């Protein structure tokens, strides 16, 4: 397998293509349907990327500046439909995420991560001790934050999100994960490029 230095030099799209091949050959390890047999892969191959204009409109609508790696990925594929292309291990849990299209993200934001709510706003769900255990100086102690942009989903209940409101030790547009039942927010990576590189490094 390639070294981390080689992976970093390969670029976003080459790395995504490696992941596509891996998923088609190892779907059963992630408890996924066969993407070739189910024709998910064929549908995925037909998907186009987002245009510069679409990405600019998306940035304007949320008042953000998307990281280069994110734009590069979305210029390649504007979502992945039923094809899971982000097999992640987050907090020792295996989750294989589907990339949401820009329009799916906009729709999702109409009902999810569309308000600001701290963990302390939900005392019936989170004790002070639990909130302290979840504390991460890279992530502000919210459950919902208008500046969190979900871009990939797993089982319609867990989301990878770009964080445009990081805490003191975090990075702008870092990737965090919302996990449902029990609800928690977990740090995933410094940015989407590092996330994809770490996936390829673990294949």
Straight-line distance from the first to the last Cα atom of the chain, in angstroms, rounded to the nearest whole number: 8
Mean pLDDT (the chain, rounded)? 93
Q: Output the domain CATH number for residue 126.
A: 3.40.1580.10
Phi first, then psi, for residue 70 (nearest 5°) are -65, -45
Which percentage of the chain shows pLDDT scores above 70?
A: 95
4 confidence band (pLDDT: 50, 70, 90): very low
- The C-alpha atoms of residue 192 and residue 28 are separated, in whole angstroms, by 25
Range of 156's domain?
Answer: 4-202
Q: Which pLDDT tens digit goes with each residue over 72-95? A: 999 999 999 999 999 999 988 999
Provide the domain count of the chain.
Answer: 1
Give the burial class of 149: count Cβ atoms within 10 A of its Cβ; 0-12 exposed, 13-18 middle, 19 or more buried: buried
Q: Lowest mean pLDDT: which of 18-22, 114-118, 154-158, 191-195?
A: 154-158
- The C-alpha atoms of residue 83 and residue 136 are separated, in whole angstroms, by 32
pTM above the 0.95 mark? no
Residue 2's pLDDT is 55
Q: Lowest mean pLDDT: which of 8-17, 40-49, 59-68, 194-203?
A: 8-17
| Residue 3 pLDDT greater than 60, yes or no | no
For residue 109, give the 3-state DSSP assignment: coil
Region 151-156: what's the mean pLDDT?
94
Question: Helix count (H) and strand count (E) of the chain?
Answer: 8, 8
Q: Which pLDDT tens digit goes with each residue over 99-141? A: 999 999 999 999 999 999 999 999 999 999 999 988 999 999 9
Which residues does residue 47 pair with via DSSP β-bridges, in sequence order?
none
């Amino acid at each position: 397998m390639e070294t981390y230095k080689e992976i970093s030099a390969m670029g976003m799209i080459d790395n995504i293509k490696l992941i596509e091949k891996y998923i088609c050959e190892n779907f059963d390890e992630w408890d996924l349907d066969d993407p070739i047999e189910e024709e998910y892969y064929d549908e995925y191959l037909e998907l186009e990327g987002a245009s510069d204009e679409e990405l600019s409109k998306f940035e304007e609508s949320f008042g953000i500046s998307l990281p280069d790696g994110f734009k590069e990925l979305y210029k390649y594929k504007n979502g992945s439909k039923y094809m899971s292309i982000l097999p992640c291990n987050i907090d020792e849990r295996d989750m294989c995420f589907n990339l949401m299209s820009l329009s799916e993200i906009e729709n999702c934001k109409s009902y999810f991560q569309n308000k600001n709510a701290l963990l302390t706003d939900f005392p019936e769900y989170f004790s002070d001790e639990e909130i302290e255990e979840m504390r991460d100086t890279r992530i502000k102690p919210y459950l919902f934050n208008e500046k969190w942009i979900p871009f990939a989903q797993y089982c319609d209940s867990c989301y990878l999100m770009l964080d445009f409101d990081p805490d003191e030790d975090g990075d702008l547009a870092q990737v965090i994960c919302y996990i449902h039942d029990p609800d928690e927010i977990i740090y995933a990576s410094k940015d989407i490029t590092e996330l994809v590189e770490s996936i390829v490094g673990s294949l």
